[in-house]
Structure 1
Amino acid sequence: MKIETKIFGEIEISEEKIVTFQDGIIGFPEMKRFALLHDEERGAGAGIRFLQSLDEPGFAMPVMDPLVVKPDYDPEVDDELLASAGDITAENLLVLVTVSIPGDLKKMSVNLQGPIIINIDEHKACQLIVENSSYPVKFPVYDILQAAKGKAGV
């Protein structure tokens, strides 16, 4: 399937790469089909990736692995909240958080309270609200990412 996107131009998305959110994502319940895009040269382990809507090609949300910036991230979630993502196991679970990238990059943050849970085997996903106040909506990450970059010698 070919789609014209605002950020990436025209791209080809294979059917097996489509991830479905039964209930949409928070704030956009009508958007249900997405593809996870990343820099092909850096692979799936690239820092910031994009959750590209296939229902609204002008919408792409930056996301990343929360463990990159908060290694002890482990929110408790009721199993019933994960039902729309299918049969979740440790082997098929991918957790991402949304990234806010303002004009001043030093104010970049991630939303640890609204993780995206993807079942990579069934290509189903959901976004939840974690009921734990120790995970903020705006967790600053700029300094953490810069420090990690320095350690990696990038």
Structure 2
Amino acid sequence: MKLTTRIFGEVEIEDSKIISFPNGIIGFPDLKKFTLMHDESDDNGATNTIKWLQSIEEPGFAMPVMDPLVVCPDYSPEIDRTKIEDVGDLSDDDILVLVTVTVPHDLTKMTVNLMGPFVINVKEMKGTQAIVENDNYPVKFPIYDILKKNKEANS
């Protein structure tokens, strides 16, 4: 399937790479099909920190996401199982957890939302966005300094 995106231009998306969100995502309940993309020009052999959750139905819509463990190594959200049962049976090998990244003009104010992670069953390619039950994770967790330290440590 060909898709003309705002960020990546025209891209070819394999059907096997489409993630179905049966209930949509928070704020966008009508968007139910997404794919994960990253900027290959930034690929320096390492896994890209920030990826994009690209809508299939609305090619102009993509949100930056990342693995929360990169910035919060002890991230262990409590999520009501009934809220994520529509993604199928989850095992540690089949689960991908991502959080949204907010990138303002002032990059030093960059944050991630640890309160509303995306939970994706990579085996069945189904996802949902959940709200964390434990309240020790903020909606705006600052990450600029953490990413800077990680980059310096990997240089």
Normalising by structure 1, we get a TM-score of 0.96
Aligned to 2:92: 90
- Aligned match of 1:52 in 28, 51, 54? 54
Alpha-carbon distance between aligned partners in 2 of 1:73 and 1:43, rounded to the nearest angstrom: 25
Residues 1:33 and 1:42: Cα distance change in structure 2 (over 3 Å): farther
Residues 1:145 and 1:17: Cα distance change in structure 2 (over 3 Å): same
Q: Does 1:145 find its partner at 2:147?
A: yes
State the aligned residue count. 153
Alpha-carbon distance between aligned partners in 2 of 1:116 and 1:42, rounded to the nearest angstrom: 26
Aligned to 2:104: 102
Deviations 1:41-70 (A, max 9, x none): 357831000000001000000000000000
CA contact (8 A) 1:38 1:44 kept: no
Deviations 1:8-54 (A, max 9, x none): 10000000000000000000000000000023435783100000000
Q: Secondary structure of the residue that 2:128 maps to in structure 1?
A: strand
Alpha-carbon distance between aligned partners in 1 of 2:83 and 2:45, rounded to the nearest angstrom: 30
Q: Does 1:11 find its partner at 2:6?
A: no
Aligned to 2:30: 30
Q: Percent identity?
A: 58
Alpha-carbon distance between aligned partners in 1 of 2:100 and 2:46, rounded to the nearest angstrom: 16
Could you list the structure 1 runs, at least 4 aligned residues long, displaced by more than 4 angstroms after superposition. none
Alpha-carbon distance between aligned partners in 2 of 1:44 and 1:24, rounded to the nearest angstrom: 31
Shift of 1:77: 1.2
Q: Secondary structure of the residue that 1:52 maps to in structure 2?
A: strand
Query: CA RMSD of the aligned region, Å?
Result: 1.2
Question: Unaligned regions of 5+ residues in structure 1, if any?
Answer: none
Aligned to 1:67: 69
Alpha-carbon distance between aligned partners in 1 of 2:100 and 2:44, rounded to the nearest angstrom: 19
Q: Does 1:20 find its partner at 2:56?
A: no
Shift of 1:131: 2.2
